[in-house]
Structure 1
Amino acid sequence: MDGAGRLARSLRSLGPQADLKAAAVGAVVLLRERLGLDRPRARPSPDRGPAPRFVLLLERHLPRRAGVAASALILLGSVGFGVVKGGHVDELFAALSDTRNALANSAGFRITTVAINGRRQLSQDEVLAIGGVNGRSSLLFLDAAVVRDRLKANPWISDATILKLYPGQLKIDIVERSAFALWQQDGRLSVISDDGAVLEPYVSRRFAALPLVVGKGADVRARDFLALLDRYPQVRAVTRAAILVGERRWNLRLRDGLDIRLPENDVGNALAALSKLDREDKLFSRDIVAVDMRLPDRLTVQLSEDAARAREELFRDKKTRKKAGDA
């Protein structure tokens, strides 16, 4: 009992592959028995009478190696079913590809020289890894269109050209995107290009000097707004972040915490007025927390708490002195 139990458990532990193998072997044995290929052909006995007609037809028209061919087909089918069922299709194709490349490399089509032009942010090893080119690749079976598509799928690469020079030279020309700004959205900080493509999450301090834009839609509208802001260097120099509000208008957050609420239209005129106010009245140096420029005919300034308290005390003193003078 215990031995049978252990045997049953061991058979169950083999899993679907053992079942497939057992089924294949059983099918082969059954087919060979049905075709009578495992037994030597016996001469008909006078006592048993002549063989049935369908048996004679099978023996006459069935090739001698039909059983072997049928066995091979069943085994191949079982192996194919096992590969698909077990999820090993990619591994099988990778092995076939490696074998094909190895034959091509031995025939003289090994990639011996690689020239990569246009890279600045990416290293040569990174470009090759992105394109799927490795030490086992052969120039003969390298699909230039596939390599190009893989490269263009990387956010740092906007375009790529692949040239195969037989027997063993590979030339890759890429056009890289440039890091343009930092974009903050939903608490995530990313490095973006000037066309709004997200290049990578912000983790490297080498991008710390990039301008910061915040809000939904700010990634694709940053280029035009920052180009406009560059026309007013006095404002740009003290700006820490540009915040897109409601995907309609921009606010500026200055380095000292001052908020500038820009209008939705005529932003250039508002920036020009802001630059003039700072140049003539030292607006950015005053004790204020916000400047509201959303209304075209007026500018509203919000004082800090200390400045507001000091202003109230000043008015209170003036009012007290006035009452004393009237008395």
Structure 2
Amino acid sequence: MFALRAGQSRVAAGSPVAGASRLADGFLLPRWARRPARLFARLGTGDFVPPRFAAAYATALLFAATGLYGTYVGGRMPELAQAVTARTGFAVDQVRVVGHRETSEIDILERLDLTGWTSLIGFDVDAARERVASLPWIEVASVRKVYPETLEIRITEREPFAIWQHGSQLSIIGRKGNVIVPYAGGRHADLPLVVGAGAAEQAAGFVAEMAKYPDLASRVKGYILVADRRWNLRLDNGITVKLPETGADEAIVQLLRADREKGLFNRQVAAIDMRFPDRMVLQLTPEAAEARQAALDSSGKPKKPKPEKRT
């Protein structure tokens, strides 16, 4: 009641300004609405004297409101918010990348689409995560804001399994046969080579089976799928082992026994055919074949002299 009476005593009773605080007899406006009501009442009676530069302020306010409205209608409010917040201490100044090995930081930064005045507040982390995850090596990516000025990128990369040769093309593939990137040499040269249509999808299972025979698996440099049915093995000394379509385990056991007993892998052999259940067929290298033929010729019986013709 004291505040209400104090507010009434500032103007003369019965004046238009005093009446502006009332909407009807016995009803007073709330305190926050009384001052605006008195201001409008003074404008109507001519008692109000505007402050200096009021017209300039009003014009500037009008222009500002018009500009904000145009920005809103034109859909440029996010850009305006980016510019304002970036210049008030929230510009992205640091990017922290964790978990990358095959992917370069430059490629990741390009996917973030950062400028010198990108605001951390308005930055779309979901869209950035999708762009980063589109890089070939990246399997999972996360983007996190660390206020006031840092972006943290955590990635999990795909694991390379083998080099797949299909025709004249070489590609690095994952364990499920998915192509990751074209093969360009470097540290991936030690990956096993799988060759042929369908080899990318079937290689993981066959290589796992070969792991049961470490003495042979350690010497295999290439796994060649033939007619989508059976495998050939290319050994580190150039020998090709032709495995059967069925019974590959038995053939490998027989092959390893022959190598232990007769040093098969150290001979001048170009190919070892294990496709026949009752025998092993060896194909000699061209040099070994020539040497063998020469040996056979030299060990043959001497030719009989031609009888002299009698005249």
Normalised-by-shorter TM-score class: 0.5 to 0.7
Give deviations 1:13-69, integer Å, cap 9, x for gaps: xxxxxxxxxxxxxxxxxxxxxxxxxxxxxxxxxxxxxxxxxxxxxxxxxxxxxxxxx
Q: Who is 2:206 aligned against?
A: 225
The answer as to 2:115 corresponding to 1:115 is no
The answer as to 2:180 corresponding to 1:190 is no
Deviation at 1:250, TM superposition (A): 1.3
Q: Who is 2:216 aligned against?
A: 235
The answer as to 2:177 corresponding to 1:178 is no
Determine the C-alpha separation between the residues in 2 that align with 1:99 and 1:207.
47
Q: Who is 1:169 aligned against?
A: 150
The answer as to 2:133 corresponding to 1:152 is yes
**What secondary structure is seen at the aligned counterpart in 2 of 1:256?**
coil
Deviation at 1:254, TM superposition (A): 2.0
Alpha-carbon distance change, 235 to 152 in structure 1, aligned in 2, over 3 angstroms: same
Determine the C-alpha separation between the residues in 2 that align with 1:134 and 1:196.
38
- The alignment of Structure 1 onto Structure 2 pairs a total of residues equal to 231
Deviation at 1:97, TM superposition (A): 7.3
Deviation at 1:317, TM superposition (A): 7.1
Deviation at 1:234, TM superposition (A): 2.3
Per the normalisation by structure 1, the TM-score is 0.60
Q: Who is 1:250 aligned against?
A: 231
Q: Amino acid of the residue matched to residue 288 of structure 1?
A: V
Determine the C-alpha separation between the residues in 1 that align with 2:185 and 2:89.
43
Give deviations 1:282-309, integer Å, cap 9, x for gaps: 1111222111112334322222344445
The answer as to 2:240 corresponding to 1:259 is yes
- Which of 190, 203, 212 does residue 184 from structure 2 map onto? 203
1:215 and 1:243 in contact (8 A); partners too? yes
Q: Amino acid of the residue matched to residue 218 of structure 1?
A: A
Determine the C-alpha separation between the residues in 2 that align with 1:207 and 1:305.
33
**What secondary structure is seen at the aligned counterpart in 2 of 1:171?**
strand
**What secondary structure is seen at the aligned counterpart in 1 of 2:152?**
strand
- Which of 127, 130, 137 does residue 108 from structure 2 map onto? 127
Determine the C-alpha separation between the residues in 1 that align with 2:113 and 2:203.
34
Q: Who is 2:250 aligned against?
A: 269
Deviation at 1:237, TM superposition (A): 3.0
Q: Who is 2:10 aligned against?
A: none
Unpaired segments of 5 or more residues in structure 1? 1-91, 322-327
2:87 and 2:117 in contact (8 A); partners too? no
Give deviations 1:82-136, integer Å, cap 9, x for gaps: xxxxxxxxxx99x997665333312433223433221122233332223444544
Deviation at 1:312, TM superposition (A): 5.1
Give deviations 1:233-264, integer Å, cap 9, x for gaps: 32233322111122222111223322111122
2:103 and 2:138 in contact (8 A); partners too? no
The answer as to 2:252 corresponding to 1:284 is no
Determine the C-alpha separation between the residues in 2 that align with 1:264 and 1:174.
42
In our comparison, the structure showing a higher alpha carbon Rg is 2
1:109 and 1:168 in contact (8 A); partners too? yes
Determine the C-alpha separation between the residues in 2 that align with 1:150 and 1:252.
41
Q: Who is 2:307 aligned against?
A: none
Determine the C-alpha separation between the residues in 1 that align with 2:244 and 2:165.
22
Determine the C-alpha separation between the residues in 2 that align with 1:260 and 1:131.
50
Q: CA RMSD in A?
A: 3.2
Alpha-carbon distance change, 174 to 155 in structure 1, aligned in 2, over 3 angstroms: same
Per the normalisation by structure 2, the TM-score is 0.63
Q: Which moved more, 1:296-305 or 1:172-181?
A: 296-305
- The structure richer in helix per residue is 1
Determine the C-alpha separation between the residues in 1 that align with 2:210 and 2:194.
12
Q: Which moved more, 1:153-162 or 1:225-234?
A: 225-234
Determine the C-alpha separation between the residues in 2 that align with 1:101 and 1:244.
56
